[in-house]
Structure 1
Amino acid sequence: MRVLDPTYEGLESAAAVCHALLVETDAHGLVLVESGLGLDSVDRPAEVLDPEWVELVSPRLDRGETALSRVAELGYDPADVRHIVLTHLDVDHAGGLPDFPEARVHVMAAEYEAAMAEGPSRRYRPAHWAHGPRWETYGTGHGQEWYGFAGVQALRGLPEEFLLVPLGGHTAGHAAVAVRAGKEWLVHAGDAYFYHRELDTGSPESHPLLDIVQLDSQVDAELRIANQGRLRELASGHADEVSVFSAHDPWEFARFTQRS
């Protein structure tokens, strides 16, 4: 994906990423958080992807970069991916769904409804769910409070270490995915923000290139900004308990890769 320059000294330029998580559970198989672009997107971009999106983003169309290939590279059988949890259904988050046809796909109901109503569009590509995923959708008005976030829900068929946190604004049913890892929560915030300095408490700063994408793709600016502020409070107020990261920031991805 497009190369990004940092907004301050000390970092090298880097390409934007699609940050996914693969979680091995004791009794529920493998859980994939986000699916990136899949084999169909790589092999048949002219048929599967929107040409305008491809021109804007310049994705790296490489089979080796797909979630399917990475799961196999780690020594796992892709058929063991039983659950996929998505922050939303944008092309670069849901594109890998056809590569795991038997997985149950967890997403907010509002996001599912928007994708079914609006696709095909630059954002939503029906080819990514033409295989008939086993959808698990979650409405609002339910759930519990979690670190000040309301309506947080446990995921059907998964242990309590997996949570879906409503974070609308980028899309109609955008959410964060929280995963308990030992004493720490990992919070995949998807596209609720695009650049790590947006979570700085002193002087938040957006990235000039990523901010163009962020503003162009939002459906509710007021809600997006409010939820970004709540994430900022979560990250700063509970840094010893919670690690928050986004989908496309390459510097966050590098930091987590070094951790693992």
Structure 2
Amino acid sequence: MKIHHLNTGTMCPIGRRLVNGTGSLFQRARLVCHCLLVETNDGLALVDTGIGLGDIAERDRLGRRWLRQTAPKLDPAETAVQQVKALGFSPADVRHVLLTHLDRDHAGGVPDFPHAAIHVHRAEHDMAVLRKPAPPEGRYVTGQWSHGPRWAFYGEDGEDWFGFRGVRALGKQADVLMIPLAGHTLGHCGIAVRSGDTWLLHAGDSYFHHAQLDAAPRVPLMLGLFQRKGDMDRKMRIANQARLRALKQNHGDRVRIVNSHDPADYERCRCGAH
């Protein structure tokens, strides 16, 4: 199963040392929207969509405060749909979009793939789309799904995978799994893809910096504050992050873990075996 790594939205907030952990306080940091494009036996599957063409055309819907804090490039060439085309595929070849969650920098490209089924945890859909329960004010950009996508839902029932419960496969694709990792949002998930004898687990926003999965975890100050501010259930997010840390330590030879925004994770994948 071939996996393509895409950066679907570069963000450049101020304070590189406090965000990336290197460089000057006065340099711009670099964050990415790390998505996966997977060639499966049932067409293409896209894991997260990053920022979409509609977000770029109507940038104010992303929120002026979010734009000011993250300073995204908003480059149409970085959108998932344009990168799919650049790889020689048609957007219609994307049959499935699996979302770690529905935050604006993960679901922005959903309208760019109108033929795809949009897979999401039911708790995430209920809060973001149905507002049951009502989400924090301004958390979601409802215009990203106002066209009425074809949703496919996952719940808490499912199988076990390396100790993680409620894991569901993508239809008959046993090599693509949706893994509940609540905390950042109530329906946050990771997506695991098997390639040969190993797994790649896209853990979304379960952690923000690669050093958070080290035996002695650490995170740059500003990035840690941003992560904490975004938590819907901090206790659960910390617990799931600890489980990811244990997964890396105990099964790092079989499971490689990446997150959504760390450029170090993204660059290692681009240069690695996947």
Give your verdict on TM over 0.5. yes
Instruction: Compute the displacement of 1:139 (Å).
Output: 1.4
Matched, 1:136 2:152: yes
CA deviation string 1:93-117 (max 9, x = no partner): 0000000011001110000011021
Within 5 Å, give how 1:53-202 maps onto structure 2. 53-116=66-129, 117=131, 118=134, 121-140=137-156, 142-156=157-171, 158-201=172-215
The answer to whether the 8 Å contact 2:97/2:116 transfers is yes
Instruction: Compute the displacement of 1:239 (Å).
Output: 1.0
SS in 2 for 1:215: helix
The answer to whether the 8 Å contact 1:38/1:66 transfers is yes
1:23: which partner in 2? 38
2:259: which partner in 1? 246
2:3: which partner in 1? none
SS in 2 for 1:176: strand
Distance 1:170 1:207 in 2: 18
Instruction: Compute the displacement of 1:163 (Å).
Output: 0.6
Distance 2:263 2:198 in 1: 22
Q: TM-score, normalised by structure 1?
A: 0.93
Which ranges in structure 1 are unaligned for 5 or more consecutive residues?
Answer: none
Instruction: Compute the displacement of 1:2 (Å).
Output: 2.1
Identify the range of structure 1 (147-156 vs 242-251) with the bigger mean alpha-carbon deviation: 147-156
Distance 1:246 1:223 in 2: 17
CA deviation string 1:124-149 (max 9, x = no partner): 11111011111001111x10111011
* Structure 2 counterpart of 1:81, one-letter code: V
The answer to whether the 8 Å contact 1:119/1:125 transfers is no
The answer to whether the 8 Å contact 1:196/1:249 transfers is yes
The answer to whether the 8 Å contact 2:12/2:28 transfers is no
1:7: which partner in 2? 21
Distance 1:79 1:175 in 2: 25
Q: 1:45 to 1:121 in 2, by over 3 A?
A: farther
The answer to whether the 8 Å contact 2:213/2:244 transfers is yes
The answer to whether the 8 Å contact 1:31/1:85 transfers is yes
Q: TM-score, normalised by structure 2?
A: 0.88
The answer to whether the 8 Å contact 1:50/1:121 transfers is no
The answer to whether the 8 Å contact 1:64/1:70 transfers is yes
The answer to whether the 8 Å contact 1:111/1:171 transfers is yes
CA RMSD of aligned residues (A): 1.7
The answer to whether the 8 Å contact 1:169/1:192 transfers is yes
Distance 2:137 2:48 in 1: 20
Distance 1:178 1:40 in 2: 28
1:230: which partner in 2? 243
The answer to whether the 8 Å contact 1:167/1:174 transfers is yes
Distance 1:120 1:44 in 2: 22
Which ranges in structure 2 are unaligned for 5 or more consecutive residues?
Answer: 1-10
Instruction: Compute the displacement of 1:206 (Å).
Output: 1.2
The answer to whether the 8 Å contact 2:107/2:144 transfers is yes
